[in-house]
Amino acid sequence: MQKEYTQTKEQVLEGLRTDRQGLSAQEAEKRLREHGENRLKEAEKLTLFQRFVQQLKDPMLLILLAAAAVSAVTNILSHESFTEVIIILLVVLFLISSQFDLLMLNAILRAFLSSGIVIVVILFQPEIRKALEQVGHSKVVQSLANTVSAKDKEEGKAETRKAIQGVVDATQILQQLRMGALIVFERQTKLGEIIKTGTVVDATPSVELIGNLFFVNSPLHDGAMIIRDGRICASGCFLPLSQNYTISKEMGTRHRAALGMSENSDAVIVVVSEETGTISIAQGGVIERGFDIPRLETRLRHEIMHKSEEEQTKESSVKALLRRVKK
């Protein structure tokens, strides 16, 4: 069969069974009935529910939803906030709104997520701070900063022993008088930001001084005392409160502050209850109650002095090993 573009006008018109005037109304209606409308067949439209189900087949969405579910279960068990779950669900909602042409919702979520880095920093500030603090008192960083002479170390040990004895003696009197106290022994994690919230003291710990600082009518008695390198560095300091909702309701603000401080640093915190006179120690996110004076002294000497010596011995061994490797 000859192609249309090689035929004359008359041959083309004849093949189409028409003339130069075009089809008559009757002929057009007849052909419309025979061949139907000159229109491509449209694909079957999916319902809103079918489109939603199709989106759920996307592996990325499935991974995000699974992550949200795991985070939700973890947060429920640990009594933590649902910040991560909310962020993940917002991302899922953003992806779905893009597919369903929800322009207004998509624009709002796009503007929200465009500032994602700032939002993540704000929302996860406690976690980021804790991670940076862990880096700060890591073995590598501490070994680089540890350039104290042997003489200074011995003097520091003597100061620390004196500070521990002063705190123990003062705690015994505070317990007898039912005077509340919150005493923080700084260790590897530096507490400069906490110290700034209080009043600088810079004095040797003694029964008289500690008793005066925590006396009920003293302006500094409600805050925490920070002991650094065997000296009272500051008093009346504000500590971060723990967000652990499983804490016994018998514990007041002092105990919650002590636990919060232990969660954010490696400090050892001594608490004296104003109501019961009970002595407690918070360390590593755990608070232990019911210490007597001999046990308190033993624990403080072990945690503050012996562990520091063990850490220094390990650091010295590592340095010696590195020197041998270099040789």
Per-domain boundaries in the chain: 4-34, 48-123, 152-323
Per DSSP, the residues of 110-155 read HHHHHTHHHHHHHHTHHHHHHHHHHHHTSHHHHHHH----HHHHHH
Average pLDDT of span 80-89: 71
Per-residue pLDDT tens over the stretch 287-303? 999 999 999 999 999 98
> pLDDT-derived band of residue 318, with 50, 70 and 90 as boundaries?
very low
> pLDDT-derived band of residue 320, with 50, 70 and 90 as boundaries?
low
Q: Which one has a higher pLDDT value, 197 or 153?
A: 197
State whether residue 88 is helix, strand or coil.
helix
The position carrying tokens 């022993």 is 161
Per-residue pLDDT tens over the stretch 99-110? 766 677 777 777
Measure CA of the first residue to CA of the last residue in the chain; give whole Å.
93
Average pLDDT of span 156-167: 87
pLDDT beyond 60 at 144: no
CATH of domain 152-323: 3.40.1700.10
